[in-house]
Structure 1
Amino acid sequence: MNGFLKNRTSFAAAVLTSIFLSFFYSSISSAEERENTCPSKNFSVFLLEFSAKVATQQQFVLDNVQVMTLKQKGYAEQVEPFVTHVKSSDLKFPIIFPIASFKEEGIQVVRVDEETLQVVDKRAGNSEIKTYTFKLAGCWALYGMEDWAITSDNFKPPQKKDMSESESFLFQKAMAYSWLGWAQKYQLTTELFQASLDNFVLAASDGNAEASLAAAGLSLSGMAPKLDEEKLESLYKTAARILPAGAEGLSYFYCYGNDVAGNGPCKDPYRAEQALINSARLGSAEGANSVGEYFETGKLVTKDINRAIACYQLAVQRGNSDAIKNLNKIKQHEARMPQASYCY
């Protein structure tokens, strides 16, 4: 019996050794083959050849490729990176579309270390970015891929009220990209905010107020590229029709345009004041308090303490605590409290 067990153990060890050596020599063979047929160890030359021919892509891919995609985080309007390892035989070719020039617009090459380079492909837009990581071992070979697209296959948030199906998806897609951007832990943080803005603008294209306000607000946040002033005004005007915050944003725009810092005097105090009054008219407690402050100081157009008090009182009714402080301040500085007139 002991001899039988010993023979079985020896046999198992031989099988494992055979498998290991087979894998080992196979790996060496693959590496040697790649080196012998390498288009070029100059990466700029290699990349053009790799992108141009499917056969080259199939040959210069590691046996297991690290693939990152975005997956929905629970049921929220958030996504997170999800990494798997995919056999080269299961990859869908072509992996990358032909690159005409190493300096082609939308193509960025980033050096990770001495033997690792990453190609960032933005040619399809900020919402369709893909990255390709190559390692040099005999020749360059694809090691990993990242797909930063958010599609209906990997993102199914519940539809938002007061939005069409298309508007809702674009809006929540924009929110998902914003969440990724605010995490501040990805190499593509700038591009993620750009993707967010792009999708907010698309969601607002049919006049949705909430999407318009989100697009304008992100543009002014400094996290995404600034929209031109004509577009920014259009978005705020759309939002200001029904949203108090939209009217407040429009007031800021009339004063400072797309200047995030809000430097200098107000450029158009009359229209800024009218927009701010409209924010109060739409029910904003903060807007009513702000109108009161401007009426009290006269920093825009109107200086009227009686209207200021009326606005403060309206803001207090709506629950604004700053308006209480403003009323108390007037009481302390006035021998006799002026009578309130009207806010708007």
Structure 2
Amino acid sequence: MNRFFAVPSCGMTTHRLNQWLSIALLGIGLCTSAFASTGQQCPANNFADFVKIFSSDSAVQKAFTESPIKATHVVAEGNIPKVVVRSVKHLPADELSVLSAESAAASNLAIGITFPNRVVVRDQQGAFLKIFVFKHSDCWVLNSVEDWTLEAVMDDVARTDRPSPGERELKKGVMFDRLVNKASGESGVSLYAAALDSYVDGARKGSAQAAVAAAGISLSGQAPRLPNEQILELMNQAFQSNPDDGVFLSLFYCDEGEYGDHKACIDPQKSMATLENAAQRGSTHALLRLGDVYETGTVVAADLPRAMACYREANKTENKSGPAAVERLLARGVIADSSIVCIGAGHTQ
């Protein structure tokens, strides 16, 4: 068989002419592509079609996998995860089995094609993540496998005698988040998604910290956006454990995570009720936010004397922002009136 596959209808008669015309015509799409090193005909030039064939045909996998191939995985080095990149002659025998739809389904894995050249295999708990990267010349060729699965690493770096519920998942999410800096921009998208999955799993298992982390990374735009109902559920879970998270929740009641043009607060009653609840439970951050709300009139009508009361109340436990705010209002001629209280204004509009 010729080194380059040629389509007979292209009219080539000699071996050298075959080679030259095949290369030339491939460039303008008039002949069938081929894999130069094996003579194997390219099964498809459309990436999605190619992946479908590649994932289920071991002969195609063998023919269209580069050798040597770049392999990336994460190991534990002391208490720190380390990314190791190697050039290997052959992949392990079962490395590509997860690309099979049947194998993936049996392991509760999802296979996603990320154009232009990646296949991402992952679960929904942040427990499994592999990225298969292809390049295209005459045909698609697998030239890199990135294994970001962290379960074995977690056994080494997150060892705790008595972990709290969801603690392992929280730490795993943080690890994924930090590993983004070690990955390409394209792979970083998948790592952020795995971080979100880990946080959500941690929240499901009882971690309030994981709950606020899940809501935060989702709203940041780095990870996929969760439905508003789920974000509210996560924020409320965090708020029940930590009153300071009430500020985060109150903001979401106003803007639902849309940070564009200044608009009227969507639900001022729930926003204010959350802030007051948080302040009553001891959150200085909530007191400062209440002062800001009454000073600026962004949620309810401006009420400078009440803003002063909130800032003065915050002064009892906060020695920087509170005093500065009090001085600012004093400079505007606002009188500190001890008969006016911060919490319990009871009016919204």
| Superposition TM-score, scaled by structure 1 size | 0.72
What SS does the corresponding residue of 2:224 show, helix, strand or coil? coil
Q: Percent identity?
A: 26
Inter-partner Cα distance in structure 2 for 1:294 and 1:33? 68
Q: 1:182 to 1:312 in 2, by over 3 A?
A: farther
Inter-partner Cα distance in structure 1 for 2:261 and 2:231? 15
What SS does the corresponding residue of 1:339 show, helix, strand or coil? coil
Number of the residue aligned with 1:107 = 113
Inter-partner Cα distance in structure 1 for 2:302 and 2:217? 33
Per-residue CA distance 1:161-199 (angstroms, 9 max, x = gap): 99536x122111111122233678432222222221121
Number of the residue aligned with 2:164 = 164
Q: Does 1:211 align with 2:215?
A: no
Number of the residue aligned with 2:93 = 92
Whether the 8 Å CA contact 1:34–1:139 is kept in 2: the answer is no
Number of the residue aligned with 2:278 = 279
Per-residue CA distance 1:120-174 (angstroms, 9 max, x = gap): 2346569444333456788765433212222234663335799536x12211111
Number of the residue aligned with 1:174 = 173
Determine which of 71, 85, 92 is the counterpart of 1:67: 71
Letter in 1 for 2:92: L
Which has the greater radius of gyration? 1
Letter in 1 for 2:114: Q
Whether the 8 Å CA contact 1:307–1:343 is kept in 2: the answer is yes
Whether the 8 Å CA contact 2:170–2:207 is kept in 1: the answer is no
Number of the residue aligned with 1:236 = 235
Whether the 8 Å CA contact 1:39–1:46 is kept in 2: the answer is no
Structure 2 residue runs of 5 or longer lacking an equivalent are: 1-34, 103-109, 344-349
Inter-partner Cα distance in structure 2 for 1:121 and 1:55? 21
Letter in 1 for 2:256: G
Q: 1:155 to 1:259 in 2, by over 3 A?
A: farther
Q: 1:51 to 1:294 in 2, by over 3 A?
A: closer
Whether the 8 Å CA contact 1:306–1:340 is kept in 2: the answer is no
Letter in 1 for 2:94: F
Deviation, 1:50, is: 3.5
Q: 1:268 to 1:335 in 2, by over 3 A?
A: closer
Deviation, 1:46, is: 5.7
Inter-partner Cα distance in structure 2 for 1:185 and 1:154? 22
Number of the residue aligned with 1:260 = 259
Letter in 1 for 2:314: A
Q: 1:241 to 1:46 in 2, by over 3 A?
A: closer
Q: 1:196 to 1:153 in 2, by over 3 A?
A: closer
Whether the 8 Å CA contact 1:204–1:212 is kept in 2: the answer is yes
Q: Does 1:50 align with 2:54?
A: yes
Is the deviation greater in 325-334 or in 296-305? Answer: 296-305
Number of residues of Structure 1 aligned to a counterpart in Structure 2: 299
Whether the 8 Å CA contact 2:305–2:336 is kept in 1: the answer is no
Letter in 1 for 2:72: M
What SS does the corresponding residue of 2:310 show, helix, strand or coil? helix
Letter in 1 for 2:38: E
Whether the 8 Å CA contact 2:124–2:197 is kept in 1: the answer is no
Whether the 8 Å CA contact 1:54–1:93 is kept in 2: the answer is no
Number of the residue aligned with 1:316 = 315
What SS does the corresponding residue of 2:185 show, helix, strand or coil? coil
Letter in 2 for 1:53: D
Is the deviation greater in 179-188 or in 242-251? Answer: 179-188
Structure 1 residue runs of 5 or longer lacking an equivalent are: 1-31, 111-117
Q: 1:297 to 1:131 in 2, by over 3 A?
A: closer
Letter in 2 for 1:203: G
Q: 1:62 to 1:269 in 2, by over 3 A?
A: closer
| Superposition TM-score, scaled by structure 2 size | 0.71
Per-residue CA distance 1:271-317 (angstroms, 9 max, x = gap): 11111122323333322122123344554347655543332223222
Q: Does 1:201 align with 2:212?
A: no
Whether the 8 Å CA contact 1:330–1:337 is kept in 2: the answer is no
Deviation, 1:86, is: 2.6
Inter-partner Cα distance in structure 1 for 2:246 and 2:333? 32
Inter-partner Cα distance in structure 1 for 2:258 and 2:150? 31
Inter-partner Cα distance in structure 2 for 1:337 and 1:180? 50
